[in-house]
Amino acid sequence: MYEVELKVRADHETVREGLRAAGATHRGTVTQVDTYYDAPHRDFAETDEAFRVREETRDGQTTTRLTYKGPLVEAESKTREEFETAVADPEAARGILDGLGFEPAATVEKERERFGLDGYTVTLDAVTDLGEFLEVETEAEDIEPAREGAIRLLRELGLDADDQIRTSSLGLLLDAPE
Protein backbone atom coordinates (compact mmCIF):
# COMPACT_ATOMS: atom_id res chain seq x y z
CA MET A 1 0.00 0.00 0.00
CA TYR A 2 1.26 3.47 -0.88
CA GLU A 3 0.55 6.85 0.62
CA VAL A 4 -0.08 9.07 -2.41
CA GLU A 5 0.32 12.70 -1.39
CA LEU A 6 0.56 16.14 -2.98
CA LYS A 7 1.62 19.16 -0.92
CA VAL A 8 1.52 22.86 -1.80
CA ARG A 9 1.76 26.15 0.06
CA ALA A 10 -1.74 27.54 0.50
CA ASP A 11 -3.66 30.27 2.26
CA HIS A 12 -5.91 28.37 4.66
CA GLU A 13 -8.80 30.85 4.71
CA THR A 14 -9.13 30.73 0.92
CA VAL A 15 -8.94 26.93 0.85
CA ARG A 16 -11.52 26.55 3.65
CA GLU A 17 -13.99 28.49 1.51
CA GLY A 18 -13.33 26.12 -1.41
CA LEU A 19 -13.69 23.08 0.83
CA ARG A 20 -17.03 24.34 2.16
CA ALA A 21 -18.27 25.01 -1.38
CA ALA A 22 -17.18 21.51 -2.48
CA GLY A 23 -19.05 19.87 0.41
CA ALA A 24 -15.99 18.59 2.27
CA THR A 25 -16.53 16.91 5.63
CA HIS A 26 -14.65 18.48 8.53
CA ARG A 27 -12.78 15.75 10.43
CA GLY A 28 -11.30 17.83 13.22
CA THR A 29 -8.11 19.53 14.27
CA VAL A 30 -5.08 17.98 15.93
CA THR A 31 -1.69 19.07 17.20
CA GLN A 32 1.24 16.89 16.18
CA VAL A 33 4.76 16.81 17.52
CA ASP A 34 6.97 14.62 15.35
CA THR A 35 10.41 13.59 16.58
CA TYR A 36 12.48 12.27 13.68
CA TYR A 37 15.36 9.90 14.32
CA ASP A 38 18.70 9.18 12.68
CA ALA A 39 19.62 5.50 12.40
CA PRO A 40 22.99 4.15 13.51
CA HIS A 41 23.30 1.88 10.45
CA ARG A 42 22.43 4.23 7.55
CA ASP A 43 21.83 7.88 6.68
CA PHE A 44 18.10 8.46 6.14
CA ALA A 45 18.83 11.78 4.40
CA GLU A 46 20.85 9.88 1.78
CA THR A 47 18.32 7.04 1.41
CA ASP A 48 15.29 9.41 1.40
CA GLU A 49 13.68 7.55 4.30
CA ALA A 50 12.15 8.84 7.52
CA PHE A 51 11.58 7.31 10.94
CA ARG A 52 9.60 9.17 13.58
CA VAL A 53 7.67 9.10 16.82
CA ARG A 54 4.48 11.17 16.49
CA GLU A 55 2.55 12.49 19.47
CA GLU A 56 -0.90 13.64 18.37
CA THR A 57 -3.29 15.53 20.63
CA ARG A 58 -6.99 15.77 19.86
CA ASP A 59 -9.59 16.99 22.34
CA GLY A 60 -7.06 16.78 25.18
CA GLN A 61 -6.15 13.13 24.48
CA THR A 62 -2.65 12.27 23.27
CA THR A 63 -1.79 9.19 21.23
CA THR A 64 1.63 8.10 20.02
CA ARG A 65 2.54 6.34 16.78
CA LEU A 66 5.79 5.01 15.35
CA THR A 67 6.20 5.53 11.59
CA TYR A 68 8.66 4.44 8.92
CA LYS A 69 8.45 6.13 5.50
CA GLY A 70 10.34 4.60 2.61
CA PRO A 71 11.97 6.56 -0.22
CA LEU A 72 9.83 8.40 -2.75
CA VAL A 73 8.71 6.05 -5.51
CA GLU A 74 7.96 8.55 -8.27
CA ALA A 75 8.84 12.08 -9.40
CA GLU A 76 5.24 13.29 -9.79
CA SER A 77 4.20 13.21 -6.12
CA LYS A 78 5.28 12.48 -2.56
CA THR A 79 4.25 8.83 -2.90
CA ARG A 80 6.06 6.36 -0.69
CA GLU A 81 5.52 3.18 1.27
CA GLU A 82 4.55 3.90 4.85
CA PHE A 83 4.29 1.63 7.86
CA GLU A 84 2.81 2.90 11.10
CA THR A 85 1.77 1.41 14.44
CA ALA A 86 0.37 2.62 17.74
CA VAL A 87 2.71 2.90 20.72
CA ALA A 88 1.27 2.08 24.13
CA ASP A 89 4.22 3.46 26.14
CA PRO A 90 6.04 6.40 24.46
CA GLU A 91 8.83 6.52 27.06
CA ALA A 92 9.55 2.80 26.60
CA ALA A 93 9.63 3.29 22.80
CA ARG A 94 12.12 6.14 23.17
CA GLY A 95 14.20 3.96 25.50
CA ILE A 96 14.24 1.16 22.93
CA LEU A 97 15.29 3.55 20.16
CA ASP A 98 18.00 5.05 22.37
CA GLY A 99 19.23 1.58 23.33
CA LEU A 100 19.48 0.63 19.66
CA GLY A 101 21.50 3.75 18.84
CA PHE A 102 18.79 5.83 17.17
CA GLU A 103 19.23 9.53 17.92
CA PRO A 104 16.67 12.34 17.71
CA ALA A 105 17.47 14.45 14.63
CA ALA A 106 14.77 17.13 14.67
CA THR A 107 11.27 17.93 15.86
CA VAL A 108 8.45 19.21 13.64
CA GLU A 109 5.38 20.76 15.26
CA LYS A 110 2.15 21.41 13.40
CA GLU A 111 -1.51 22.17 13.79
CA ARG A 112 -3.52 20.07 11.32
CA GLU A 113 -7.10 20.63 10.26
CA ARG A 114 -8.46 17.65 8.31
CA PHE A 115 -11.28 17.36 5.79
CA GLY A 116 -12.64 14.46 3.75
CA LEU A 117 -13.46 15.06 0.09
CA ASP A 118 -13.98 12.61 -2.79
CA GLY A 119 -12.15 9.77 -1.03
CA TYR A 120 -9.15 11.94 -0.12
CA THR A 121 -7.97 13.51 3.10
CA VAL A 122 -7.30 17.23 2.68
CA THR A 123 -5.15 18.61 5.48
CA LEU A 124 -4.44 22.25 6.25
CA ASP A 125 -1.09 22.34 8.04
CA ALA A 126 0.27 25.26 10.03
CA VAL A 127 3.88 24.18 10.58
CA THR A 128 5.92 25.99 13.22
CA ASP A 129 8.67 28.10 11.60
CA LEU A 130 7.55 27.13 8.05
CA GLY A 131 4.04 28.48 7.41
CA GLU A 132 0.82 27.19 5.86
CA PHE A 133 0.51 24.16 3.59
CA LEU A 134 -2.20 21.96 2.14
CA GLU A 135 -1.82 18.23 1.63
CA VAL A 136 -4.12 15.99 -0.39
CA GLU A 137 -3.54 12.31 0.28
CA THR A 138 -4.97 8.83 0.03
CA GLU A 139 -3.77 5.27 0.37
CA ALA A 140 -3.74 3.24 -2.82
CA GLU A 141 -2.29 0.19 -4.52
CA ASP A 142 -2.44 1.89 -7.93
CA ILE A 143 -0.49 5.16 -7.73
CA GLU A 144 -1.32 6.91 -11.02
CA PRO A 145 -5.13 7.15 -10.70
CA ALA A 146 -4.78 8.21 -7.06
CA ARG A 147 -2.30 10.94 -8.04
CA GLU A 148 -4.48 12.14 -10.92
CA GLY A 149 -7.47 12.37 -8.57
CA ALA A 150 -5.40 14.41 -6.12
CA ILE A 151 -4.37 16.77 -8.93
CA ARG A 152 -8.04 17.23 -9.94
CA LEU A 153 -8.95 17.97 -6.34
CA LEU A 154 -6.17 20.58 -6.06
CA ARG A 155 -7.47 22.27 -9.23
CA GLU A 156 -11.03 22.29 -7.83
CA LEU A 157 -9.67 24.12 -4.78
CA GLY A 158 -7.95 26.71 -6.99
CA LEU A 159 -4.45 25.36 -6.47
CA ASP A 160 -1.83 24.26 -8.98
CA ALA A 161 -0.17 20.84 -8.74
CA ASP A 162 2.81 22.34 -10.58
CA ASP A 163 3.52 24.24 -7.33
CA GLN A 164 3.89 20.94 -5.52
CA ILE A 165 6.52 20.60 -2.81
CA ARG A 166 8.04 17.13 -2.70
CA THR A 167 10.19 17.92 0.31
CA SER A 168 8.90 16.77 3.70
CA SER A 169 8.25 19.22 6.51
CA LEU A 170 11.39 17.82 8.15
CA GLY A 171 13.44 18.53 5.01
CA LEU A 172 12.02 22.05 4.73
CA LEU A 173 12.79 22.73 8.39
CA LEU A 174 16.35 21.42 8.08
CA ASP A 175 16.89 23.49 4.90
CA ALA A 176 15.42 26.70 6.35
CA PRO A 177 17.85 29.54 6.99
CA GLU A 178 18.52 30.10 10.67
Phi, psi for residue 151 in degrees, rounded to 5: -65, -45
pLDDT value at residue 171 = 87
The pLDDT of 1-8, averaged and rounded, is: 93
Q: Sorting pLDDT into bands at 50, 70 and 90, what band is 178? A: low
* pLDDT tens column, 134-171: 999 999 999 999 999 999 999 999 999 999 998 889 88
For residue 39, is pLDDT > 80?
yes
* pLDDT tens column, 43-66: 998 999 999 999 999 999 999 999
* CA 114 from centroid of its chain's CA atoms: 12
Q: Is the dihedral of CA 41, 44, 50, 53 positive or negative?
A: positive
Q: What is the CATH number of the domain that holds 40?
A: 2.40.320.10
Catalytic annotation on 2?
A: no
pLDDT value at residue 75 = 84
Query: Among the residues of 3-49, which ranges form H helices?
Result: 12-22, 44-47
Give CA–CA dist 41/171, Å, rounded.
Answer: 20
CB–CB of 136/148 below 8 Å? Answer: no
Q: Is the dihedral of CA 163, 44, 124, 24 positive or negative?
A: positive
Write down the number of H helices and E strands in the chain: 5, 8
* pLDDT tens column, 76-134: 888 999 999 999 999 999 999 999 999 999 999 999 999 999 999 999 999 999 999 99
Q: Sorting pLDDT into bands at 50, 70 and 90, what band is 175? A: confident
Among candidate residues 2, 36, 37, 120, the one labeled active-site is: 36
Residue 148 belongs to domain spanning: 2-175
Give the number of domains in the chain.
1
CB–CB of 56/35 below 8 Å? Answer: no
Give CA–CA dist 34/57, Å, rounded.
Answer: 12
Give CA–CA dist 165/142, Å, rounded.
Answer: 21
CB–CB of 65/87 below 8 Å? Answer: yes
Cβ atoms < 10 Å from Cβ of 62: 12
By DSSP bridging, strand 25-38 and strand 103-117 are antiparallel
Length of the chain in terms of residues written:
178
